[in-house]
Structure 1
Amino acid sequence: MAITSRAIFWCLCCEILIVAGGAAAAQPALFESRQVTPAGEYTFGIEGPAVDLDGNLFVVNIGRAGTIGRLSQGASQSEKFLDLPEGSVGNAIRFSPDGTMFVADYKKHNIFLVAKGASDAAVWFHSDQMNQPNDMTIARDGTIYASDPNWKGRSGRIWRIARGADGAVQGEVMTAPRAMGTTNGIDLSPDGRRLYVSESNSGQVWSYSLHGNDLTDARLIRTFEPDTVDGVRTDVSGRLFVARILKGAIAVLDPNGSLQREIVLRGKEPTNLAFGGSDGQTVFVTQRQGGFIESFRTDREGREHCLQRGNC
């Protein structure tokens, strides 16, 4: 049977629609979480997820305390990346724009540095005055802000750690306009002017203006139930993603604290989260219950991912 030009045209259109529809169907739905790695890969102390420039996810305490695991981009199983020095246990990992890894060692009060391409950790900063370095965030100029909770005293503070004019690494406890609770999750606004801090004991999330070593203009932006907040990360639009430990969810807040949505997770005890993937719109979540990693897609890039790519 002869086929007319018009018939050929409509056949091609149908084929294009089918291909396009299939590609769209292959994309994961936004804000729907799935388990990525097997249960039991990591210990109860699973924490500190961070993604490097190559898309590899790094998480502390794979198999046993004092280790760092790596989940290669697209993989479904982690492998051990390195062992920290004897007696040290990591809690947070962050990457600077040049690919340097920093690890908060809460046991020995260190901030370790792992140079890009290296597989061993060197002490970058140490202070016996720390309760324990818990979580960290990195500013555009390389300054590290670290939460320092005192769990027994149900109090905490923030450290500012940076290289001085002489090149030496210096760390100071930041002055604050109020007595803080157990400081835990921490991140910066996209413009770097405000610091967000979650306090586990009160379930509160606070915002501060940054002025050198001073925290000013304290604003309570959201209160959850006590002991139900952990890690905090921001995206390029300024939204906050808050790990609701014991609640099995990630709360998404606007910069003023209004709840935009809650993302229901597979596990019930999320400790922290990190943005990654090729476009910075995949969120990886560490799950204390079961010791695994899950992930979901979001609609905007993470602040740190954008910073690492040099686009922010």
Structure 2
Amino acid sequence: MAITSGRNFWCLCGSIVLVATTPFVAAETKMFESVQVTPADEYTHGIEGPAADLDGNLYVVNFGKPGTIGRLPAGGAASEAFTALPEGSVGNAIRFDRSGTMFIADYKKHNIFAIPKGGTEPVAWFHSDEMNQPNDITIARDGTIYASDPNWKGREGHIWRIAKSADGPVQGQVMSAPRAMGTTNGIDLSPDGRTLYVGESSNGQVWSYAIRDNELTDAKLVKTFQPDTIDGLRTDVAGRLYVARILKGTIALMKPNGAVEREIALKGKEPTNLAFGGSDGKTVFVTQRQGGFIESFRTDQPGREHCLQRGRC
């Protein structure tokens, strides 16, 4: 059986039969070798926010036009429309909590939207006019949302903590920090939920913080890349970090101490973010601003979020 351009060809009864297969199957046979999954230009220049549900469907913002969310079905080779945010809102990040609820960061109108499992209608979960955006988000085991909130013009930013209060309402506030932050962008938690990793695009730095209620403490510089060359980041169950090297066209895979294990070469040169998916959580999907498509590669550990959704982290 020969494989050509992600499709399988074989001869049957004297005729050629064409059977379409998932383009990212090839990525599952060679570790860390990325392949393009979806056609070019399905998504806008604002392609971002990938997140996979328990069924293996991948959700990405700005499908065809701003303010939409597309879905790449498990095993699919092209995205389809999933839903749209209210008029004027534009998504930048998507995450799932342990119950299967989808949360979307709306950077235009300063909202966090929620879509219950099985639903398609976005419902306002949190709003604050004091926010610059929000940009990227991550969710803890108890449902607490941490959101990066960059001020791109001022090349600075901070982190919001958003959670339900004891009497029910969702409340959010800026977390105190031991240092002035750059433009906060990519964000994720360690597998034990005790450490928050934050990428600062303006200075190319990744920092770690211990979490103490609404306070970030014990700031440690994990790694310094070139300024303006990092975007989204994710962690796996081994505690390693995957950092989107926008403009370099790679994903940097590094240990919590900042030692880079490998730079995973991508098809596109402008990766904005990434997410773990697939049946075992070891397929990494990458959103590409250059070309407006999704690509993927296989890795050797499941993602933290994949583990969290299954109640194992």
**Alpha-carbon displacement from aligned partner over 1:83-134 (angstroms, at most 9, x marks no partner):** 1100000000000111100000000000001111111101000000000000
Instruction: State TM-score, norm by structure 1.
Output: 0.91
Whether 1:248 aligns to 2:242 is no
Structure in which a larger fraction of residues adopt strand: 2
Asked whether the equivalents of residues 27 and 297 of structure 2 are also in contact (C-alpha less than 8 Å), the reply is no
Please name the residue that 1:153 is paired with.
154
Specify the alignment match of 1:9 in structure 2: none
* Number of aligned residues: 288
Query: Shift of the alpha carbon at 1:311?
Result: 1.6
Find the counterpart in structure 2 of residue 239 from structure 1.
240
CA–CA separation in structure 2 for the residues paired with 1:27 and 1:292: 19
- Residue aligning to 2:9: none
Distance 1:229 1:265 in 2: 14
Task: Write out aligned runs for 1:218-297 (5 A).
Answer: 218-297=219-298
2:91 corresponds to 1:82: no
1:98-247, aligned counterparts within 5 Å? Answer: 98-247=99-248
Q: Deviations over 1:191-233 (max 9, x none)?
A: 1000000000000000000000000000001000000000010
Q: Which residue of structure 2 aligns with residue 50 of structure 1?
A: 51
Once residues 143 and 33 of structure 1 are traced to their aligned partners in structure 2, the CA distance between those partners, rounded to angstroms, is: 32
Query: SS state of the match for residue 307, structure 2?
Result: helix
Deviation string, structure 1 residues 272-294 (Cα, Å, up to 9, x no partner): 00000000000000000000000
The alignment's C-alpha RMSD in Å is 0.9
Distance 1:203 1:76 in 2: 33
Secondary structure of 1:257's counterpart equals coil
State the partner residue of 1:60: 61
Please list the CA deviations of residues 9-37 of structure 1 after superposition, one character each: whole Å capped at 9, or x if unmatched.
xxxxxxxxxxxxxxxx9951100000000
Match of 1:250, as an amino acid?
A: I
What SS class does the counterpart of residue 305 from structure 1 fall into?
Answer: helix
Kept in 1: contact 2:27–2:298 (CA 8 A): no
Q: Give the Cα separation in 2 of the matches to 1:216 and 1:295.
A: 35
Contact 2:251–2:263 (8 Å) recurs in 1: yes
Give structure 1 regions of 4+ aligned residues with deviation exceeding 2 angstroms: none
Alpha-carbon distance in structure 2 between the residues aligned to 1:27 and 1:216: 39
Q: Secondary structure at the match of 1:216?
A: strand
Q: Report the Cα distance in structure 1 between the residues aligned to 2:218 and 2:297, rounded to whole angstroms.
A: 34
User: Partners in 2 of 1:256 and 1:192 — Cα distance?
Assistant: 17
Q: Secondary structure at the match of 2:29?
A: coil
Long gaps (5+) in structure 1: 1-24
In structure 2, the partner of 1:12 is: none
Per-residue CA deviation, residues 213-260 of structure 1 (Å, 9 max, x unaligned), is 000000001000000000010000000000000000000010111111
Contact 2:28 / 2:298 at 8 angstroms: preserved in 1? no
Report the Cα distance in structure 1 between the residues aligned to 2:299 and 2:117, rounded to whole angstroms: 28
TM-score (normalised: structure 2): 0.91
**Secondary structure class of the residue paired with 1:207:** strand
CA contact (8 A) 2:113 2:126 kept: yes
1:38 aligns with 2:49: no
Deviates more, 1:84-93 or 1:113-122: 113-122
Does structure 1 conserve the Cα–Cα contact (< 8 Å) formed by 2:232 and 2:274? yes
Structure 2 unaligned regions, length at least 5: 1-25
Q: Which amino acid aligns with 2:262?
A: R
Q: Deviations over 1:43-79 (max 9, x none)?
A: 0000000001111000000000000000000000000
Letter aligned with residue 70 of structure 2: G
- Give the percent of matched residue pairs that are identical in Structure 1 and Structure 2: 75
